[in-house]
Chain A
Amino acid sequence: MWTWFYKLASPPYVYAAAAALAPWFLGLAAITVGYGLVDGLVYAPPDYQQGDAFRIIYVHAPSAWLSLFAYTSMALAGAIALVWRIKMGHAVAAASAPIGASFTVLALVTGSLWGRPMWGTYWAWDPRLTSELILLFLYVGVMSLRSAFEDPSRGDRAAALLGIVGLVNVPIIHYSVTWWNSLHQGATVAKLGKPPMPGSMLWPLLSMLLGFMLFYGAVLCMRLRGEVLNRERQAKWVREAIKS
């Protein structure tokens, strides 16, 4: 029963599958992001309180979502690799981490740009942005740990374990930061991304979300190809693939 699974996780198969999938992801991402941007930035009505400043949510909310999504997929890929000793899981985790970290940075930058007109300052220790910042620290920890080992297979496994520990901690961190914020600030500060939203604002947001996920998939495939080549550089199939 496991044989198909291991075949699926064999490096040449992963390399070929990533190559085949990447253009599809990229094309679909272009369509959904294109629609989301035009509809969200041009046609959606301005917010009655925030005016046009709210439109940054079309970039901010999907990046924040993707920062968590990429962390979760990184940790799960690492967990699978650690438990069943499937090396390609480590490759997926290693390819995923920098993408997720970039989405985290994007969410932080757009969040503080939004905060400037709303709070009058770029950084007001909003609980969601603070959690996002800690998530960035978690990403940095995992990536530095992976690269700190001379033996890449040990670095992979250490990073996978840290990713799992971090994943368990993400909800705890988010909850504690929210608790801390309610203690010190009260509820007067405007929160990013209030839930009730009319459809004309919501549809472009959902489209952007889908587009960002497809974009993540596309970049993951491309980075994964690089990871696989680098990890398998001693293997015969890589030399043949490079020659042809």
Chain B
Amino acid sequence: MNMAADGLSVEKVHVWRGDRHVLRGVSLSLGPRQLLHVSGPNGTGKTTLLRVVCGLLRPEQGQVSWRGHSISSARSEYQATLAYASHEPALKGDLTALENLRFAVGLKRRVTADELRSALQRTGVAACADLPARVLSAGQRRRVAMARVLAMSASLWLLDEPFTNLDAAGSDVMSSLLQSHVAGGGSALVVAHHELTVECDMRRMELA
């Protein structure tokens, strides 16, 4: 049993990309009601780390475990409990914002249109619900992607640069969502360049 038996634990993870040694023995732990802010210059493997943590990328060495179990032993069950937002908003331009959410969230849990609309409401894009995603602005798409994370009601949030393209109001919304997620017992791993202003048990990790 490792230290964070009730949360996420990453132990001495190594990843090579060709000749590049991208992650050199990264370790971290993240429990409930905690936020971990990962920062660092470009090319230090922040996105790679997130992909390792969510189980998309298998590290050459090292181990990732969630609630005491290695994530490769029960990958689907683990992935059902997490919500990942990549630096692309991952929306289909031909589908409306609501349909995008319905197909993405609907695979994780049974969800009604009202729940999805209220998630869009909380991120401030309720008016865009029935517009095709291709007509939305970059900031609106980011907010829709955030609504997707919210609607998944996952315990672990993995967010890659969630503040990109957001205006000041959007950043505030984002920060308060993070705050209430963590306050409600969730964990969040956030990759971001700049300082986070979230009032919670926040630690910071610098990748170099």
Q: How far is the CA of A150 from the CA of B20 in the complex (A)?
A: 12
Q: How far is the CA of A200 from the CA of B18 in the complex (A)?
A: 54
Indicate whether A182 reaches chain B with its CB closer than 8 angstroms: no
What string of 1s and 0s marks CB contacts (under 8 Å) between B26-40 and chain A? 000000000000000
Which one of A151, A233, A234 lies within 8 Å of B17 (CB-CB)?
A151
Indicate whether B206 reaches chain A with its CB closer than 8 angstroms: no
Q: Which residues of B contact A141 (CB under 8 A)?
A: none
Indicate whether A152 reaches chain B with its CB closer than 8 angstroms: yes
**Which residue numbers of B lie inside 8 Å of A, CB to CB?**
16-19
Q: Measured between C-beta atoms, what is the minimum distance from A150 to chain B in Å?
A: 7
Interface centre among A150, A233, A234 (most CB of B within 10 A): A234
Q: Which residues of A contact B16 (CB under 8 A)?
A: 153
Q: How far is the CA of A152 from the CA of B16 in the complex (A)?
A: 11
Q: How far is the CA of A152 from the CA of B20 in the complex (A)?
A: 11
Q: Which residues of B contact A150 (CB under 8 A)?
A: 18
Q: Which residues of A contact B17 (CB under 8 A)?
A: 151
Contacts A151-B17, A153-B18, A233-B19 known; list 5 others, CB within 8 Å.
Answer: A150-B18, A151-B18, A152-B18, A153-B16, A234-B19
Q: Measured between C-beta atoms, what is the minimum distance from A232 to chain B in Å?
A: 11
Q: Which residues of A contact B19 (CB under 8 A)?
A: 233-234
7-57 of chain A: CB within 8 A of chain B: none
What string of 1s and 0s marks CB contacts (under 8 Å) between A218-244 and chain B? 000000000000000110000000000
Q: How far is the CA of A150 from the CA of B16 in the complex (A)?
A: 13
Q: Which residues of B contact A233 (CB under 8 A)?
A: 19
Q: Which residues of A contact B18 (CB under 8 A)?
A: 150-153
Nearest first, the 8 closest Cβ-Cβ pairs linking A and B are A151-B18, A234-B19, A151-B17, A152-B18, A150-B18, A153-B18, A153-B16, A233-B19
Q: How far is the CA of A151 from the CA of B22 in the complex (A)?
A: 13
**8 A-B pairs (CB sep. < 8 Å):** A150-B18, A151-B17, A151-B18, A152-B18, A153-B16, A153-B18, A233-B19, A234-B19
Q: Which residues of B contact A152 (CB under 8 A)?
A: 18
177-204 of chain A: CB within 8 A of chain B: none
Q: What is the chain B residue whose CB lies nearest that of A152?
A: B18
Q: What is the chain B residue whose CB lies nearest that of A87?
A: B60
Q: How far is the CA of A152 from the CA of B17 in the complex (A)?
A: 8
Interface centre among B16, B17, B18, B19 (most CB of A within 10 A): B18
Q: Measured between C-beta atoms, what is the minimum distance from B180 to chain A in Å?
A: 39
Q: What is the chain A residue whose CB lies nearest that of B21?
A: A234
Q: What is the chain B residue whose CB lies nearest that of A149?
A: B18
What string of 1s and 0s marks CB contacts (under 8 Å) between A100-139 and chain B? 0000000000000000000000000000000000000000
Q: Which residues of B contact A153 (CB under 8 A)?
A: 16, 18
Q: What is the chain A residue whose CB lies nearest that of B17?
A: A151
